Amino acid sequence: MATKPRFKSDAFEAIHSAAAGLHRSGVVGKQTMREFDEICLAEAPHLDAKTIVQIRKAAKVSQPVFAKYLNTSTSTVQKWESGAKQPSGIAARLLQVVKKHGLEVLT
């Protein structure tokens, strides 16, 4: 099941939808669709190491438990929290959801 893309606004969603229809009909090529994606889709949030630590501590769990909830490794959580690595787009969005709604939303 694919996740629904997040658009910058309703207007960008409508524009992207029209372009996707043209792409499906063969009028718009892959390169043009990639350009529409770049223009219309919202970027994943940037979460710094301190924020990720705060999210985990607010959930009152250890790094290994946090990693299990996020379906990642403990070493990945450690790298995020030390700033050695940034969460990918989907991981950053998941962390944003946990920040807003708590870890319970993943159970």
pLDDT digits (tens, 9 = 90+) for 24-53: 999 989 998 888 888 887 777 789 999 999
Inter-residue contact 88 to 94 (CB < 8 Å):
no
Q: How confident is residue 3, by pLDDT bands cut at 50, 70 and 90? A: low
Q: Look at the pTM and tell me if it is higher than 0.85.
A: no
Whether 31 and 76 share a structural domain? no
Whether 32 and 71 share a structural domain? no
Which residue range forms the structural domain that includes residue 20?
10-40
Query: Which range (7-11, 45-49, 64-68) has the least confidence?
Result: 7-11
Whether 69 and 97 share a structural domain? yes
CA distance 25 to 61: 49
Residue from 31, 3, 8, 1 nearest 19 by CA? 31
CA distance 95 to 107: 14
Which comes out higher in pLDDT, residue 12 or 97? 97
Whether 36 and 84 share a structural domain? no
Instruction: Count how many domains the chain has.
Output: 2
Q: Inform me whether the pLDDT recorded for 19 exceeds 80.
A: yes
What's the CATH code of the domain at 91? 1.10.260
Mean of all residue pLDDT scores within the chain = 88
